[in-house]
Structure 1
Amino acid sequence: MDPFTAGLVLICFLALLGLPIGLSMITGSILYLWMRGQDMGLVAERLLNSMFTGYVILAVPLFILAAELMNSGSMTDRLLRFCNAFVGRFRGGLAQVNIVQSVIFSGMSGSAFADAAGTGRIIANMMTRNGLYTRSFAAALTASSAVIGPIIPPSIPMVLYALVSNASIGFLFLAGILPGLLMALMLMTLVVVQSRRLNFPVETPVPIRELPGITLGAFPALLMPVVLLGGIYSGAMTPTEAAAVAAAYALLVSSLLYRSISLGQLYRALTSGARSSASIGMLIAGALVFNYVVTAENIPQKLSIYLTGWDLTPLQFLLLVNVVLLLIGALLEGTAILLIIVPVFIPTATALGIDPVHFGVVAVVNIMIGLITPPYGLLIFIMQSITGAPLRHLIRDLIPFIIALLVALMIITVFPDFVLWLPRQFGYQG
């Protein structure tokens, strides 16, 4: 067995045994270097150099901390009341609130898991209270709307894609806005159809006179995306500095303005954020080491030559990437796909003249849909755990939402100008 195949087999074997994928990749890389007769200290050198020089990686734990602080304080509750006041009055209103809150909360956390476990948990409980909606439908909708979070900026997956592709984080963030809104529109349209077919309940309308007070109460939380994006695109902050500002802003608003976070809650937010960051950090470290192995074997270049021989058009290549990523996304964790699989396709995409920002958005949307695709989809199991919905019923209710998101993916794939229009308004030359 050649060294690369042996390392790959070891990674798969250890992952199947339950070892974290990051550690599995480091172990497989060490085996590869040993069989090649190379210095195994290259693993430590590659890991340390990549992590210490990867300034952009700092944005990941900071965005995670911002989401934890928002969930610990009352910012999420105020956002939910704001959403409910405006769209909760329609048939299936709570279902629409679920989607709208994901769009708003996505501008602060950058994580689908933070959305699902934070505001998603709250709205799912509201939907199932008194039997208004089935647990499986509430769980399916919450999981589906949570995937919007990493598309609309800020976005942790976009940061990771920038790490492996050298694309501009700022333009990636801008490019995600319209696709994210399109995904939300597709889900809301489906809810309207289902509301009539299944006769969903109508919520008690919030009196008009209360709207100014509710809006004022949520205004500091709603201002957070404006502060972040304004700072980035005005040149005042880098995306990493914006992540730090997001965490600081969430802490200041929750503690000083809303006075809704205690020292105990702050400690739990810090420890929870640290655990999540360590988990992602180990995965990034393993991927960076394994990417050295992939590069040493010239896998991206070999794949590029192989696919070029197929004489694919850019659209055909993107459709092929969609199929591959959707299939892999049903089996593997999204961050691992973004750090290991996607970089292999980047040279081919570049050779075919595909814009790196457009390709990044297409890749991230694919990976996010993978989070709700059976059998592995992590969001499926998170929402099943939160709601207690039978897994069979949850997957059944997920299928229409997955189809709606796939339609949005096709539009994003076929019409690159739709994705790139907003970055071009801010000077992007792609």
Structure 2
Amino acid sequence: MNFSSPFALTIYALTALALLGMPIGLSMIIASIGYLWMTGMDMGTAAEQFLNGMYSNYIILAVPLFIFAAEIMNSGSMTERLLRFCNVIVGHLRGGLAQVNVLQSLIFAGMSGSAIADAAGSGRMMQAMMTRENRYTPSYAAALTAVTAVIGPILPPSIPMVVYALVSDASIGYLFLAGVVPGLIMTAMQMAQVAWDARRHNFPVEERVPMREIPRVTWGAFPTLLMPVILLGCIYSGVTTPTEAAALAAAYAVLVSTVIYRSLSWREGYNAVLISARTSASIGMMIGGALVFNYVVTVENIPETLRAVMQGWELTPLQFLLLVNVILLILGCVLEGTAVLLIIVPVFIPTAQALGIDLVHFGVVVVVNIMLGLVTPPYGILLFIMTNIAGTPMKYIIRDCLPFLGWMVLCLALITYFPDLVLWLPRLAGYGS
């Protein structure tokens, strides 16, 4: 490799700008424009790639819509009612509040598709509930909220899967279905770890909700519980596309919060719009930057070069997947997940196709890797969120996360080695036929 070539200088510039604190999307755009200038190409190509990519991919619209739906749920009382319902189901078990934390993340996953929205939304309520009267340590409550929030983007709908579909042309509908079994496996593993911790540390048993209260709590949560049913039902019945379903989810969240629950004020609605716009703009800039940078990568023929190198190594599909897992797990410790999806993953896709690896299976493996990165130091963004919420040192949160991380790595190993765990449900729906 020529370490003074235009591409190498582009990588140096991108790294330097990112380390200086510039947003990664802008860093990619500036570094890519520098590459076009050094190679004598038309620098207007950067704008062309940005605009063509952003305006020709209808699926990108799903990202801000899912973010807005999650913000409305957290601003209104939908999340609070969901927690009450989960408490009815598992709150009476030993370590019941911890089990409620896992269960609410499972249900919330069917509504927002965002791990950050889950942790930031229900995280404050769960932290307050679990640490009241010293039931649980602040670090354990924070660690549990962080690791359970990871479930959200694995189950449908999923914002990372939308982004993966953008770079791979895989079916977003089948990707959503493929995440169901891995998400349920991870949920079961987390609940098993909580049950073990509850016995080992003698976690408290919460007072059972009286039978006469169960119908009222269930009825109060019913509109919220109906949201994933409507959302996924519309997608898989063919009534809507995933993007249209995202718009439906946002509209339904507004309807329930304002008309049925009457819990969303104008100020809260306005703040939800602002937060959604800022988050969407940040993700959109990163997607746009990646589209420009990926053009540079394509011009340099990096994917084909990597595929030739991999073929020279004569890797089997399983060996390739294991190598990808190791690379993504390492990168997840230091890079933001969306950046990994947009910059690194497209380089692996041609090799995966050449080895006969199903792109839907590959997508789920990639997304699980990315989710693990959200709770691995030093860059795990969920760790930063929960450190801020809990007000406890991150080292204690990381310590309490470790057993759950072990289970999550085991889940990753299972879906890597057994593709049928991922592809079983999509095949039932007609995938590959």
TM-score (norm 1): 0.99
| C-alpha distance in 2 between matches for 1:124 and 1:177 | 27
Post-superposition shift, 1:188? Answer: 0.6
| C-alpha distance in 2 between matches for 1:170 and 1:16 | 37
Counterpart of 1:206 in structure 2 is 209
Counterpart of 2:165 in structure 1 is 162
| C-alpha distance in 2 between matches for 1:272 and 1:44 | 27
2:99 matches 1:93? no
- CA deviation digits over 1:106-148, x for unaligned, max 9? 1111000000000122112211112111111111110000000
Counterpart of 2:269 in structure 1 is 266
What is the count of residue pairs matched by the alignment?
Answer: 430
2:227 matches 1:224? yes
Contact 2:86 / 2:100 at 8 angstroms: preserved in 1?
Answer: yes
2:386 matches 1:416? no
Match of 1:14 among 13, 17, 27: 17
Counterpart of 2:199 in structure 1 is 196
Post-superposition shift, 1:215? Answer: 1.0
| C-alpha distance in 1 between matches for 2:365 and 2:392 | 31
DSSP 3-state at the match of 2:313: coil
Query: Which runs of no fewer than 5 residues in structure 2 stay unpaired?
Result: none
- CA deviation digits over 1:328-378, x for unaligned, max 9? 000000000001101111011101111000000000000000100111111
Once the two structures are superposed, the pairs formed by residues 30-179 of structure 1 within 5 Å of their partners are 30-179=33-182
| C-alpha distance in 1 between matches for 2:160 and 2:384 | 20
Post-superposition shift, 1:293? Answer: 0.5
TM-score (norm 2): 0.98
DSSP 3-state at the match of 1:204: coil
| C-alpha distance in 1 between matches for 2:181 and 2:215 | 28
Counterpart of 2:242 in structure 1 is 239
DSSP 3-state at the match of 1:108: coil
2:330 matches 1:327? yes
How many percent identity over aligned positions? Answer: 67
| C-alpha distance in 2 between matches for 1:324 and 1:414 | 17
Counterpart of 1:426 in structure 2 is 429
Post-superposition shift, 1:54? Answer: 1.1
| C-alpha distance in 1 between matches for 2:124 and 2:296 | 40
RMSD of aligned alpha carbons: 0.8
DSSP 3-state at the match of 2:170: coil
| C-alpha distance in 1 between matches for 2:327 and 2:159 | 22
Post-superposition shift, 1:393? Answer: 0.9
Post-superposition shift, 1:235? Answer: 0.8
| C-alpha distance in 2 between matches for 1:114 and 1:312 | 39
Match of 1:314 among 308, 313, 317: 317
| C-alpha distance in 2 between matches for 1:268 and 1:78 | 21
TM superposition outliers: structure 1 runs of 4+ over 6 Å: none
DSSP 3-state at the match of 1:256: helix
2:299 matches 1:296? yes
